[in-house]
Amino acid sequence: MALKAIYIPYLLRFKKPGGTLRGILTEKQTYFIKVYDDSDISRFGLGEAALFKGLSADDRPDYENKLTDVCKNIERYIDCPEGLQEWPSIRFGLESALLDWEGGGRRILYSSRFTQGQEGIRINGLIWMGSKDFMKEQIREKLSHGFRCIKLKIGAIDFDTELSLLKAIRNEFSPQEVELRVDANGAFTPDDALFKLDALSRLSIHSIEQPIRAGQWERMSELCENTPLPIALDEELIGVFNQKDKILMLKSISPQYIILKPALVGGISGSEEWICLAEERRIGWWITSALESNVGLNAIAQWCYTKSPVMPQGLGTGQLFTNNVSSPLRIWQESLWYDPLCEWDMSSFIEAK
C-alpha cells in the first residue's frame, strides 16, 4: 500500500466582516490535504493546512510549491516530519490528515468521550473588534447563549471606549458570574502598557493576550514581572521553531500563560512540545483556534480534549463562514460538542484526486 496525497485550495467566506488589527476580514484562503490509497477510494484522511495570511510564519510566495512537494513526496515527510518545522500550517494539515487516515478516514483523530458526544469542551465567547454598539451587541448575544467566559479583542477603537465597555459588563456581572479576557494583539506601546494593564486590572480581568507587539523580549519580560494581571503570550510564539529557542524565550520573558494555536506554532507535535516546556516552568496555557474551517477546528478540538483542559479554551464555533464544511461540531451553552449522530459532508472531497 502506497499513500498518495493532494491539496485542495478553498476560500472561506465570512458571514460578517471580522475586525482585527490586520484589517477587516471578508474571506480567508485555506488548503485541505487529502491522503488516500487507490485500493479504497471511500477511505481518505483529511487535514487542513490553515494558513493565516499576514500572521503565519509560513506565509511565503512559495507556499503552494511546498504543498505540492509535500503531496508528491508524502512518504518522505512522514518519515522526516522535521522537514516541515518551518512550515507549521502545513505540518498541522499533514499531521491531521494522517491521524484521520489511521483512524479509518472517519474524521475521528482521537477517540474519546468528546467524539462519543458524552462531554463537551468549555470555550470562551469571542467578541470581535468594531464600533462600541457592534461590540455591545455581540456581548449581549454571547451572554444570552450561556457563555460565562468572554474574550474581547481590543485595540481597534480608543482605549477609554473599550474600558467603558468592560466596566459596563463588570457593573452588571461579578467576576464569579462572568470571566473577562482581553486580547490586545500587540496594540499597546511599551511605554503605555503598564498604565493600561493597571486600569484593566481594576475590573478583575482574567488575563491579557500579547499587550505589546512580539519580538520585544526585554520589554515583555519587564511587563510580565510587574504586571497587575496575568499576561498570555500569543504572537510571540509564532516563528520560534526549535526547542532551544523556545526555552530561551520562555526563560527570558517568564509569562504567566502561553496561547497555543497549532496551525501557527508547529502543528500538534509542536504544540505538545510548547506545553511540556511551559509546564516544566510552571507557566499556564490554553489552546486556541485561528479561523480554521470545521476540518481544522475538529482536529484541534479532539486533540485539546486529550489534554484534559480545566479552564475555558479559545476554540472557534464553526459559525463564522457561509461555506464552512458541514460537520458534527455543535455549540451548546458555553461548550463545544461533537454529535456522533451527525454526518460530515465530504461530497467535495470524495472524488478529488
Report the candidate in 218, 226, 221 with the shortest Cα–Cα distance to residue 198.
Answer: 226
Q: How does residue 82 score in pLDDT terms, banded at 50, 70 and 90?
A: confident
Catalytic, out of 28, 34, 246, 261: 261
Catalytic, out of 66, 142, 151, 153: 153
Q: How does residue 347 score in pLDDT terms, banded at 50, 70 and 90?
A: confident
Q: What does the mean pLDDT of the chain come to?
A: 93
Q: How does residue 9 score in pLDDT terms, banded at 50, 70 and 90?
A: very high
Q: How does residue 344 score in pLDDT terms, banded at 50, 70 and 90?
A: very high
Q: How does residue 318 score in pLDDT terms, banded at 50, 70 and 90?
A: confident
pLDDT at 209: 97
Distances (CA, A) of 351 to 39, 74, 136, 160, 289: 14, 20, 45, 54, 28
Lowest-confidence segment of 65-69, 130-134, 188-192, 288-292 by average pLDDT:
130-134
On the question of pLDDT at 42 being above 90, the answer is: no
Lowest-confidence segment of 184-198, 285-299, 309-323 by average pLDDT:
309-323
How far is 248 from 149, CA to CA, in rounded Å?
A: 32
Phi-psi region of 47 (alpha: psi -120 to 50; beta: other; left: phi over 0): beta
Q: Residue 67, class by beta-carbon neighbours within 10 Å (0-12 exposed, 13-18 middle, 19+ buried)?
A: buried
pLDDT in tens, 169-200: 898 889 999 999 999 999 999 999 999 999 99
Whose grid coordinates read 518519515? 79
On the question of pLDDT at 67 being above 80, the answer is: yes
On the question of pLDDT at 352 being above 80, the answer is: no
On the question of pLDDT at 311 being above 90, the answer is: yes
Residue 150, φ and ψ in degrees, nearest 5? -115, 130
On the question of pLDDT at 317 being above 90, the answer is: no
pLDDT at 48: 98
On the question of pLDDT at 351 being above 80, the answer is: no
Q: How does residue 41 score in pLDDT terms, banded at 50, 70 and 90?
A: confident
All three cell numbers of 26, joined, read 471578508
List 4's β-bridge partners, or say none: 36
List 179's β-bridge partners, or say none: 149
Exposure b/e, 9-34, CB count within 10 A at least 16 = b:
ebebebeeebbbbeeebeebebbbbb
Exposure b/e, 73-108, CB count within 10 A at least 16 = b:
ebeebeeeeeebebbbbbbbbbbbbbbbbebebebb
pLDDT at 1: 59
Domain boundaries, the chain: 4-102, 121-338
The class level of CATH for 121-338 reads alpha beta
Query: Mean per-residue pLDDT for 114-131?
Result: 91
How far is 92 from 97, CA to CA, in rounded Å?
A: 9
Report the candidate in 231, 253, 222, 227 with the shortest Cα–Cα distance to residue 240.
Answer: 253
Higher pLDDT, 309 or 132: 309
Who's near 4: CB < 8 A, 6+ residues apart?
35, 36, 37, 38, 71, 74, 353
The domain at 4-102 falls in which architecture?
2-Layer Sandwich (3.30)
pLDDT in tens, 129-145: 777 788 788 888 888 88
pLDDT at 21: 56
| Continuous segment of H or E residues that includes residue 307 | none
| Continuous segment of H or E residues that includes residue 161 | helix 159-172
On the question of pLDDT at 254 being above 80, the answer is: yes
pLDDT in tens, 198-232: 999 999 999 999 999 999 999 999 999 999 999 99
Q: How does residue 125 score in pLDDT terms, banded at 50, 70 and 90?
A: very high
Per the annotation, the verdict on 261 as an active-site residue is: yes
pLDDT in tens, 157-166: 889 999 998 9
pTM, rounded to two decimals: 0.94
